[in-house]
């Protein structure tokens, strides 16, 4: 700006400029609408093409930024009927963007305010949106939630009965097979190898045990009908139903299976552990017992999205300061499998071992780090990361007796020695302060000298499921021109988790047993709905604003094994302290992740404070994976998937055995063998892949098999014509 004199704009020039600028603003708003119409026309003629593909096409072919492309793709659906008001009120791009992201109530309220003649900017829209979000979580909403939870509790009791009876029926099945299936082994001169034959004998005990299973199946069917009704589709239609909803199909097939068992219409071979009954009797009972996620031979084949939510295969990574394992956990479901995790603290290494039972990962102390890095140079390492934030603004490795080794000196040494395709570190955001900017520039230069292009991104973690206010700063580096393909896509549809959703159940649990404390905890969950916590980081001093925010949440930003209750409890002054599980949840770790040592019951809050949140690591990791491999993802679906699903499935050993063998050679009685299978029956190598649809032939055979089957709902007809085993 030139000059600071109080001279006013000449009246004539000001009036003329005002008129011209208002006219141009109106043209600008009209331009937004016209571009959105053109994008919508492109979408209509591109039937079957995903919005994400269109967004990337607009970026590459038209030169839009990714945010602009998403803006115009969302415009027609959310603001298409408001184009007149947009042009009339000359709305700017930032106001329109805020309106797109807010709810219908906020959008309508803003437009009413505009009609009243009041000026509106993006910050004003955000203020109204935040207010309405809190209003939505009112007493009525909480009462509705209580009602839903009450109904859910009653349903859970019925479910527990169903699963218990199903487990009892499974036990009867196992005993039945063990008692009444016989295996015979013999040798002949022509065939010296041992040969097996199998049979069963219908003794009095056989019929008695089968009747016991039929009786238990009746009780189980009644439980099922209490939950899901007594009307179910004919068996011939079940695989067609499974294409749309495999749960509904599994319930229906299980109902038919129970009717078969009630009628004693089965052979022992059809209820064996590895039996192959086309009616899938055994699988149906295992489904009802909660041991299988479906009973049908065909799962849901819903219209798959154009983009996957998990990578096709795993790339190799190294974590130079694993800490509590947050970065490695998040990056695993983003397609990066740790080759090695370095960690100085012995107690932290013990926790890493407890949490990573599905793989074998080397873990070594920091003293050997500088000399160890070089051996990984030619192993095709795709990513180097740090599970704890980089915080020491120094390139000189710290004293070897100091366990806080996760600084820039070690980060640079690792990247220089290993030469990965990319690196990713979370960094103390104060590096962007004026005092630290020279060091930040030096870091960029040093990585550039190693052939890496670097980018710094501020990530709003509240939009990816982490209930924290402050953005996180990350440093990403890539070489060989890969950075040109890197794009940290915004979460247009955010995954929102507030402090009550994160730790509300733990607060209620910690304050149970005393009426006054219970009332305080209940009030806490009501008053803090929709709230986020201030920054959690041991390397950043809490400001007065942070202290006020913690105080508003009725939380003492200190830690305890259990929230201590003062001798004189006062609801107005009491402030709860955070436990290990609470801090773990606030950092975005899943409930299954262990942060407390089982042997000692101790935990290290500093380790959790400076950890890289796993959801942040996953979010950034997916973008890096896309840049390296070219594979794109459905970001919303990816960020809502479980963090605790290991890419390499945990294996278990099962013993396959058979029943009594009265006529066997010595040493082969009760034949059995052991096999190793994944715990969740996923492919034993690599990430889960999307299966191709080979269901049409199976569905045709299924329909033909059961087309003439009597309807078991007609009990008299069923008694005359029982289903015969196939």
Least confident residue range of 192-201, 524-533, 556-565: 192-201
Place of tokens 């199976």: 698
User: How far, in Å, CA of 613 to CA of 470, rounded?
Assistant: 13
Q: Report the candidate in 723, 705, 712 with the shortest Cα–Cα distance to residue 264.
A: 723
List CB contacts of 233: < 8 A, sequence separation 6 or more: 241, 252
Closest CA to 633 of 245, 333, 422, 380: 333
Could you read off the pLDDT of 331-344 as tens digits, one per residue?
Answer: 988 989 888 888 87
Say how far apart CA 402 and CA 384 lie, in whole Å: 22
Name the nearest CA neighbour of 130 among 113, 107, 109, 106: 106
Specify which of 289-293, 478-482, 563-567 reaches the highest per-range mean pLDDT.
Answer: 478-482
> Locate tokens 């709905």: which residue?
529
Q: Residue range 260-266: average pLDDT?
A: 89
pLDDT at res. 189: 53
CA gap 604, 597 in Å, rounded:
9
3-state secondary structure of 364: strand
CA atoms within 13 A on the CB side of 683: 10
Residue 100 to residue 120: CA distance in whole angstroms: 15
Using the predicted structure, report yes or no on whether residue 538 has a pLDDT greater than 80: no
Kindly indicate the confidence band of residue 128, based on its pLDDT and cuts at 50, 70 and 90.
confident
Give the 3-state secondary structure of residue 634. Answer: coil
Our CA angle for 466, 472, 473, nearest 5°, is 155
Dump pLDDT digits (tens) for 508-526. Answer: 988 887 888 889 999 999 9
Please state, in angstroms and rounded to a whole number, the distance separating the CA atoms of residues 23 and 524.
51
Q: How many CA atoms lie within 13 A of 266 on its CB side?
A: 31
The 10s digit of each residue's pLDDT in 437-486 is 888 999 999 999 999 999 999 999 999 999 998 889 999 999 999 998 99
Q: What is the mean pLDDT of residues 43-67?
A: 82
pTM: 0.53
pLDDT at 585 > cutoff 50: yes
Confidence of residue 695 (pLDDT cuts 50, 70, 90): low
349 vs 694: CA distance, rounded Å: 45
Distance CA 350, CA 289 (A): 35
- Cα distances from 363 to residues 159, 369, 385, in angstroms, run 43, 11, 15
Higher pLDDT, 369 or 311: 311
pLDDT at 537: 61
Please write down the HEC assignment for all residues of 601-618: CCCCHHHHHCECCHHHHH
Query: Which pLDDT does position 650 carry in this prediction?
Result: 52
Q: Name the band, by pLDDT with cuts 50, 70 and 90, for residue 409.
A: confident
Q: What is the DSSP string of 497-508?
A: --HHHHHHHHHH
The pLDDT, as a whole number, for residue 262 is: 92
Residue scoring higher pLDDT (140 or 317): 317
Most distant pair of Cα atoms in the chain: their distance: 119
Q: What's the pLDDT score for residue 660? A: 44
Mean pLDDT of the chain: 78
Q: Is pLDDT at 406 greater than 60 in this prediction?
A: no
> Could you give the CA distance from residue 666 to residue 419 in angstroms, rounded to a whole number?
61
Residue 118 has pLDDT above 80, yes or no: no
Burial grade of 299 (CB within 10 A; 0-12, 13-18, 19 or more): middle
For residue 684, what pLDDT is reported?
A: 44
CA atoms of 392 and 395, how far apart (whole Å): 8
pLDDT exceeds cutoff 70 at 251: yes
pLDDT at 449: 94
Inform me whether the pLDDT recorded for 571 exceeds 50: yes
The pLDDT assigned to 149 comes to 66
Rounded Cα distance, 485 and 340, in Å: 27
3-state DSSP call for residue 318? strand
Question: Given a cut of 60, is residue 190 above it in pLDDT?
Answer: no
């Amino acid at each position: 700006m030139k000059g600071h004199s109080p001279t006013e704009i000449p009246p004539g020039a000001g009036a003329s400029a005002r008129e011209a600028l208002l006219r141009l603003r109106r043209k600008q708003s009209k331009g937004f609408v016209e571009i959105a119409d053109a994008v919508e026309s492109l979408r209509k003629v591109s039937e079957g093409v995903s919005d994400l593909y269109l967004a990337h096409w607009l970026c590459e072919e038209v030169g839009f930024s990714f945010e602009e492309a998403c803006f115009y793709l969302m415009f027609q659906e959310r603001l298409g009927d408001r184009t007149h008001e947009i042009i009339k009120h000359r709305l700017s791009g930032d106001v329109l963007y805020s309106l797109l992201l807010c709810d219908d109530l906020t959008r309508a309220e803003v437009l009413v305010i505009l009609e009243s003649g009041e000026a509106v900017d993006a910050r004003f829209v955000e203020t109204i949106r935040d207010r309405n979000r809190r209003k939505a979580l009112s007493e009525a909403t909480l009462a509705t939630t209580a009602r839903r939870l009450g109904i859910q509790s009653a349903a859970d009791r019925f479910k527990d009965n169903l699963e218990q009876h199903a487990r009892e029926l499974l036990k009867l099945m196992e005993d039945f097979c063990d008692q009444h299936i016989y295996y015979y082994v013999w040798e002949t001169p022509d065939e010296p190898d041992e040969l097996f034959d199998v049979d069963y004998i219908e003794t009095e005990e056989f019929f008695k045990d089968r009747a016991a299973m039929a009786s238990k199946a009746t009780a189980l069917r009644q439980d099922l009908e209490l939950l899901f009704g007594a009307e179910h589709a004919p068996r011939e239609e079940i695989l067609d139903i499974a294409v749309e909803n495999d749960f509904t199909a599994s319930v229906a097939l299980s109902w038919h299976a129970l009717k078969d068992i009630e009628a004693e219409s089965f052979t022992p071979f059809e209820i064996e552990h590895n039996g192959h009954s086309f009616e899938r009797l055994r699988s149906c009972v295992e489904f009802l017992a909660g041991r299988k996620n479906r009973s049908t031979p065909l799962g849901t084949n819903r219209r798959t999205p154009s983009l996957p939510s998990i990578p096709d295969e795993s790339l190799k990574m190294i974590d130079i300061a694993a800490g509590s394992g947050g970065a490695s956990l998040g990056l695993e479901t983003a397609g990066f499998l740790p080759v090695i995790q370095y960690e100085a603290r012995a107690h932290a290494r013990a926790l890493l071992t407890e949490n990573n039972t599905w793989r074998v990962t080397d873990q070594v102390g920091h003293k050997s780090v500088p000399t160890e890095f070089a051996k990984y140079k030619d192993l095709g390492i795709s990513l180097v990361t740090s599970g704890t934030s980089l915080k020491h603004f120094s390139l000189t490795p710290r004293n070897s007796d100091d366990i806080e080794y996760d600084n820039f000196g070690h980060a640079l040494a690792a990247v220089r020695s290993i030469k990965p395709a990319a690196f990713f570190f979370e960094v103390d955001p104060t590096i962007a302060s004026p005092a630290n900017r020279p060091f930040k520039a030096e870091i960029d230069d040093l990585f550039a000298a190693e052939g890496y292009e670097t980018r710094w991104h501020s990530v709003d973690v509240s939009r990816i499921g982490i209930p924290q206010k402050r953005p996180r700063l990350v440093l990403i580096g890539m070489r060989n021109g890969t950075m040109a393909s890197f794009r940290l896509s915004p979460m247009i549809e955010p995954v929102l988790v507030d402090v009550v959703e994160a730790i509300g159940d733990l607060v209620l649990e910690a304050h149970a047993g005393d009426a006054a404390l219970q009332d305080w905890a209940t009030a806490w969950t009501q008053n803090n709905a929709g709230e986020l916590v201030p920054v959690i980081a041991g390397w950043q001093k809490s400001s007065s604003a942070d202290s006020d925010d913690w105080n508003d949440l009725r939380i003492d930003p200190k830690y305890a094994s259990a929230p201590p209750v003062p001798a004189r409890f006062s609801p107005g002054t009491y402030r709860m302290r955070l436990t290990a599980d609470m801090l773990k949840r606030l950092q975005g770790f899943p409930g299954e992740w262990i942060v407390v040592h089982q042997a000692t019951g101790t935990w290290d809050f500093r380790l959790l404070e400076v950890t890289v949140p796993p959801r942040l690591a996953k979010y950034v990791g997916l973008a890096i994976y896309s840049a390296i491999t070219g594979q794109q993802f459905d970001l919303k679906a990816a960020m809502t998937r479980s963090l605790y699903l290991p890419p390499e499935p945990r294996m278990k050993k099962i013993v396959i055995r058979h029943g009594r063998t009265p006529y066997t050679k010595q040493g082969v009685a009760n034949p059995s063998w052991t096999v190793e299978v994944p715990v969740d029956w996923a492919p034993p190598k690599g990430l889960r892949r999307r299966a191709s649809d080979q269901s049409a032939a199976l569905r045709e055979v299924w329909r033909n098999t059961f087309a003439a089957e009597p309807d078991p709902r007609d009990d008299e007809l069923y008694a005359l014509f029982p289903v015969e085993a196939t």
